[in-house]
Amino acid sequence: MEGETSWVSHSVDSIVRNVRVFDSYSELSDEGNNENTTVSVDSILPDDLLELILAYLPVASIIRAGCVCKRWNEIVGSRRFLWNLTHALPQKPWYFMFTSSDEPIGYAFDPLLRKWYSITLPCVETSSWSVASSYGLVCFMDDDSRSELYVCNPVSSYYRRLEEPPGLKFPDYSALAISVKKESHCYNVSVVKSTQVQGDFFQWELSIHIYESETMTWETPLVEVLTGWRGGDEGVICNGVLYFLIYSTGGGMPEDRHGLVTYNISGRLSQGPLLRGFVPMPCPLTCGRLMNLKEKLVMVGGIGKQDRPGIIKGIGIWLLNGKVWQEISRMPHKFFQGFGEFDDVFASSGTGDLIYIQSYGSPALLVFDFNQKQWKWSSKCPVTKRFPLQLFTGFSFEPRLEIFP
Amino acid sequence: MASESKMIMLRSSNNEVFEVEEALAFESQTIKHMIEHDCADTVIPLPKVSSNILAKVIEYCKKHVTSPKDDNNELESFDAEFVNIDKNVLFGLMSAANYLNIKSFLDLTSQALADIIEEKC
């Protein structure tokens, strides 16, 4: 790709500027330190071997390694090094927490090193923008007209603005999702817009718009009017299938307040009405959060009381097997209480093996390891609640140096 | 049951000759390539690998070739102990793993060196 060489050579400087990592390596590169310094490591190894070793470091350490000295900086910023990273094992996902509602600033939690890094996000203006992420890229959509979309790499800060999606502006609801193809680094972005049909409470027009990064164009493969249901803000793409939550607009039983529908974005042939593939919820939910964990659809849901479904009594995690939900875990009571107050809605995001859960009312962050089925608090976020109504939210993403939007 | 296994001779940089079974030698893609393409005679010269490094490489390959496939825990503890050595020797092993193209050994030694860098800082 033309221009990529200049991107690569500047990428490390950009990364270093963007991710302010505490405890820099560079203090230890002075001469005269004890013999076991990075400099002595450095002097024995030729570049090609050093390059191989640095690729095994956690992403934050690779960034710091780029600050040690000119030689390491050149290695880390080299095209070949970045290309090799595509074959390295995926890193554990970070969680970015907005620490202000009006500015795109916050801290990212690194579960590998258990540290928080101060980051300024490109493109996004406030924490109420929609966010979706896949394979190191994060997509942002404005919270107003829903026509400003950006795809960026939050670690390197490189971003691209997408063409405006078709369809009505200022929809009542919209769900954003992104999916990156690992081999080609091409991606699809999907926006599901829902707007109430004029004068009719029960009828909602729902449209699906898909962006293809290769052709840089949007298509609208589906427009449908639903009766008794509307789309919302939750959607995710797994294995070429778009999953999104729909919400009942009629009365109905508590278990029927939410539902899941699917759309095959790689198929694109006429797939029949959306509700044909309807998947009910496993129990009454106060809210649901969808995520892609290694191409499996996982939902984190607030469990509502049977008689008062708007009141949350716990949090559960389910995996979708075909059309059936398999319960993976329930948040143990001590963690549920550990948040203090839990609203019926909360923030939750996950990718790879980790699920992050956060109450809007506090910067406490809980981590569920999907592999080990273990719950654990993150290390303490360096941010405290400054006023009673302050809200916190965030999203998870895989930190990858080598992917460009 | 031991079938008649072909033996390969490897000569280190300081001219010491090691005799190993073919299956073991083939852990190294470099050696495998040389033998399959008839690039070597009876003895394969490895001018970039010294005797003590080569001995350790052979020890690693032997353990990995002869261990039962499902005994991951044992292999894991063997690997962890194996790289718990002086970092200069570790450099030598990694360099040899790269030259001989033994992927699992290269991953192991590279990760161990990355861990050392991580710890020091």
ipTM of the complex: 0.84
**A49 close contact with B: CB closer than 8 A:** yes
Cβ–Cβ < 8 Å for A56, B111: yes
Whether the predicted pLDDT of A354 surpasses 80: yes
CA distance A351 to A295: 9
Q: Do B98 and A49 touch (CB under 8 A)?
A: yes
Q: Report whether pLDDT(A258) > 80.
A: yes
Structure tokens at B29: 């893609």
Can you say whether the dihedral through the CA atoms of B91, B92, B93, B96 is positive or negative? positive
Closest CA–CA distance from residue A57 to any residue of chain B (Å): 6
A61 contacts in chain B (CB < 8 Å): 117-118, 121
Q: How many CB atoms are closer than 10 A to CB A317?
A: 25
H or E stretch covering A16: helix A4-18
Strand order in the sheet with A149-152: A130-134, A137-141, A149-152, A159-161
pLDDT of residue B120: 67
The pLDDT confidence band at residue A4, using thresholds 50, 70 and 90, is: very low
- Among left, alpha and beta (phi > 0; psi -120 to 50; other), residue A46 is beta
pLDDT at B31 over 60: yes
Q: How far is B99 from chain A (nearest CA, A)?
A: 10
Cross-chain residue pair B117–A58, CB shorter than 8 Å: no
* B77 Cβ contact list (under 8 Å, min separation 6): none
Q: Quote the DSSP letter at residue A89.
A: P
- DSSP per position, A27-46: GGGSTTS-SSSHHHHHHHS-
Distance from the B25 Cα atom to the nearest Cα atom in chain A, whole angstroms: 23
Backbone dihedral region of A136: left (phi > 0), alpha (psi from -120 to 50 degrees) or beta?
left
Q: Per DSSP, what are the bridge partners of residue A394? A: A97
Q: What is the DSSP letter of A274?
A: G
Kindly determine whether residue B88 and residue A52, on different chains, have CB atoms separated by under 8 Å: no
Give tens-digit pLDDT for A85-132: 887 777 899 999 998 888 888 899 999 989 998 888 888 888 899 999
Nearby residues of B34 by Cβ (< 8 Å), 6 or more positions away: B40, B44
Q: Which residues of B touch A41 (CB under 8 A)?
A: 87, 113, 116-117, 120
Q: Which residues on A lie below 8 Å from B118 (Cβ)?
A: 57-58, 61
Residue B52: closest CA among B86, B91, B14: B14
Q: Which residue in chain B is spatially nearest to A29 when comparing CA positions? A: B121
Question: Do A72 and A41 meet the contact criterion of CB atoms below 8 Å apart?
Answer: no
Q: Given the structure tokens 């200049």, which residue do they identify?
A: A6
The 10s digit of each residue's pLDDT in A18-42 is: 665 544 343 333 333 333 444 555 6
Q: Strands B7-11 and B43-45: what pairing?
A: parallel
Rounded Cα gap, residues B92 and B50, in angstroms: 9
Percent of chain A with pLDDT over 70: 87
Residue A276 has pLDDT above 90, yes or no: no
B chain contacts of residue A45, beta-carbon cutoff 8 Å = 91
Q: Where are the beta strands (DSSP E) in A265-392?
A: 279-280, 285-293, 296-304, 312-321, 324-330, 347-351, 354-358, 365-369, 374-377
> Can you give A287-307 as a three-state secondary structure string?
EEEEEEECCEEEEEEEEECCC
The residues on B that touch A, with CB distances below 8 Å, are: 87-88, 91, 94-95, 98, 106, 110-111, 113-114, 116-118, 120-121
**């893609």: which residue's tokens?**
B29
Chain B positions touching A44 (Cβ under 8 A) are 88, 91
Please name the residue of chain A whose CA is at the shortest distance from the CA of residue B95.
A49
- Which residues make Cβ contacts (< 8 Å) with residue B72, sequence separation at least 6? none
Confidence class for position A187, pLDDT limits 50, 70, 90: very high
Q: Give pLDDT, residue A34.
A: 39
Predicted local distance difference test score (pLDDT) of residue A28: 37
**Gap between the Cα atoms of A231 and B72, Å rounded:** 48
Parallel, antiparallel or unpaired: strands A105-110 and A258-264: unpaired
Q: Is A57–B98 a contact, with Cβ atoms under 8 angstroms apart?
A: no
Within chain B, residue ranges assigned H as helices are 22-25, 29-36, 51-66, 72-82, 87-100, 103-120
**Residues A62-73 pLDDT 10s:** 888 888 888 888
Spell out which residues of chain B touch residue A28, defining contact as CB-CB under 8 Å: 120-121
Question: Over 70: is that where the pLDDT of A8 sits?
Answer: no
The SS3 assignment for A158 reads: coil
Number of Cβ within 10 Å of residue A87's Cβ equals 8
pLDDT at position A221 over 50: yes
The count of other CB atoms within 10 Å of the CB of residue A25 is 21
Give one word for A66, left, alpha or beta, with left for phi > 0 and alpha for psi -120 to 50. alpha
Partner residue facing A28 (CB), from B91, B116, B120: B120
Question: Which of B88, B103, B117, B119 to mutate: most A Cβ within 10 Å?
Answer: B117
Q: pLDDT value at position A291? A: 97
At A260, list the tokens.
Answer: 């899941």
